[in-house]
Amino acid sequence: MRIGVLTAGGDAPGLNAAIRAIGVMALRDGHEVIGVANGWAGLAQEYAGVALQASQLSGVVGQGGTLLGTARFDLDHPAGGRERVLAAIGERLDALIAIGGDGTQRVSQWLAERGAPVIGVPKTLDNDLPGTDYCIGFDTAIAVVAESLDRLHTTAASHHRVMVVETMGRTTGWVAALGGLAGGADLILIPEFPMALSDVLEHVEQRRRAGLGYSIVVVAEGVDLSTLGGVETEKPTREGFGGGRLAARGVGQFVANRIEAGGDIEVRTTVLGHLQRGGSPTAHDRIWATRVGAGAYEAVVAGKFGTIPVVRDDHVTLVPLSDVAPGQRQVPREIYDLCAVFF
């Protein structure tokens, strides 16, 4: 069997662990593993599939990025990209494992509905795929946020400053909420639970009155500026199926400017950006990426196409792609309320 593997959308720590699991298990059983370069572009444009050897899968479990390369490739502009992918799978592969986030899995579902032998694997450091407790890259992302806040606490306290830290997450606040919780943030702003600017300023002032002359404020990149008294000046830059580049909105700097204008206090901004994507994956990401990768391979062998291995209650479970492709998993109230305890 010729089993293709691709990684689409943004890179995330743990991708290579998943690729390794699929490849090692497939080669062990005598199958051919085809690494498709640069996501959907490797099927929609000139075919970019190459047989992977065991030597290429050795020593990659701890490496960040993806050995296959990736891209945010929009299959709908111009139209016809999905059909070219469908044709390429039929001509070149017996099965395809697509590792990616919401955009990737929507395409995977579309292909599966038309008879393509496709299996998904959940990957997004934003952690916003519905139907799964785990997405490849999320644990490493929040670990980076937590470590960054640890470092910023000391300089904030020394200089009696407010440090505003902007995180990734697109239109959900998972990275900000759990990264901020782990890193001891004093205030966390996320899209799911809007906060007025007056509440932000009052929080900072309360800490000053309590003798705490500094604050760590974490802001998710997708926070609605209008709730803070701002105005969206332009639409975010498009990134294929990944949507807009929300970091270009500058919400962290906006919040910092408003805090500084509202009182006699120094404010500094740190945008963590792609630091959350890069570097070695945590042990948690390595282990669970390996497990969902193995689950995807087992689904291929069993012929259970149109499905995706997800994590629920510490177990890998196979569910239909339709369970994860639509909708969005948002931060629940109980997590936000827990964060608020430490404000």
* Inter-CA distances, 73 with 7, 239, 333, Å: 11, 8, 34
Distance from chain centroid for Cα 138: 6
Q: What is the rounded radius of gyration, in angstroms, for the C-alpha atoms of the chain? A: 21
Rounded to whole angstroms, the Cα distance separating 16 from 72 reads 18
The pair of three-digit structure tokens given for residue 275, joined into one six-digit string: 């630091």
Residue 288 belongs to what H/E stretch?
A: helix 283-301
Rounded to whole angstroms, the Cα distance separating 180 from 189 reads 10
Amino acid at 212: L
Which are the catalytic amino acids? 126
* Largest CA-CA distance found in the chain, in angstroms, rounded: 69
